[in-house]
Copies of this chain bind each other. A is one copy, B any other.
């Protein structure tokens, strides 16, 4: 089933304890779109870049089965640029530079060929723009998944809450869940967020796994214990893209299938952190994904007979 992915397509410059990069391709929609493309060949991108963005990458998106009709290329303008440095624990980072460039007056256009979409991934972006995309869909998609970040909680909480109200699934990390609700307990935070509108909430805990909540149930998926995390950039977006991609592929939005989706999402994220940027997620084989999912099964499955 068709999946529209909205968000940033960007240049990143990343520094981790393992090394640093020049300008490389990044952006939330880039990671989410690439990740989803392993599950469905009907991914439609909505984003904006400047004329400095390499055409080869846009061709690469197409090769992966992504439509780029909704990817605006702005003549005479520059692509969004972000630069960050990770701390030794790899869980925290400092933003060194942010150049919004084309993002400053980004007005998302939904081509008519996108209008029949069943799944909508709102990757991290200004909440007003995420809302605009929902409003510009002539038909409500079966499932709208939204990712966001602490920055919008600090600068545009009202707009953020307006958008959160409209989505089916919200994904945030643990500190964002706490920030959004002023609750330290994630169980209490989850119930408060579910009262804001979404029917499902995914709390991403990085190396500590992810939690899926609805009002009655909770599911936990671990992260794979890795020898090294090389670069966490894009792991959350890769996770979200794998999640919604799996749901689109299987056409099943039940809680039980969302559990499976989170396992696939975690597998995709575990690849992302193995190399800088999109390098690893651009080169995956289906057999590698299956093998990784099997590792997750082995990691958590046990049999207890309760009578």
Contact = CB atoms under 8 A, between A and B. Distances in A.
Contact of A300 (B89, B185, B187, B220): B220
Interface string A249-275: 000000010011001000000000000
Interface stretch (A95-103, A121-129, A224-232): A224-232
A295 to B, nearest CB: 9
Given A184-B88, A208-B208, A302 B226 contact: no
A300 B219 contact: yes
Contact of A187 (B187, B225, B259, B293): B225
Given A209-B222, A222-B220, A228 B185 contact: yes
A222 to B, nearest CB: 4
B225 A220 contact: yes
Contacts of A303: 256, 260
A227 B188 CA distance: 6
A250 to B, nearest CB: 11
A294 interface: yes
B186 A302 contact: no
B299 A220 contact: yes
Contacts of A185: 226-228
Contacts of A153: none
A225 B208 contact: no
Contact of A293 (B89, B227, B304): B304
Q: Which of A219, A294, A298, A302 has the most CB of B within 10 A?
A: A302
Among A88, A184, A217, A293, residue most surrounded by chain B Cβ atoms (within 10 Å) = A184
A227 to B, nearest CB: 5
Given A186-B225, A187-B227, A205-B208, A219 B293 contact: no
A303 B222 CA distance: 15
- Identical chains in the assembly: 2
Interface residues of A, number: 37
A219 B297 CA distance: 10
A55 interface: no
A174 B299 CA distance: 18
Contacts of A300: 219-222, 300
A306 interface: yes
A186 B208 CA distance: 12
B211 A304 contact: no
Contacts of A89: 184
Contacts of A227: 185, 187-188
Interface in A213-252: 217-222, 225-228
A184 B91 CA distance: 12
Interface of A: 88-89, 184-188, 205, 208-209, 211, 217-222, 225-228, 256, 259-260, 263, 290, 293-294, 297-304, 306
13 contacts: A185-B227, A186-B225, A205-B208, A208-B208, A209-B209, A219-B302, A220-B225, A222-B222, A256-B302, A260-B303, A290-B306, A297-B304, A300-B300
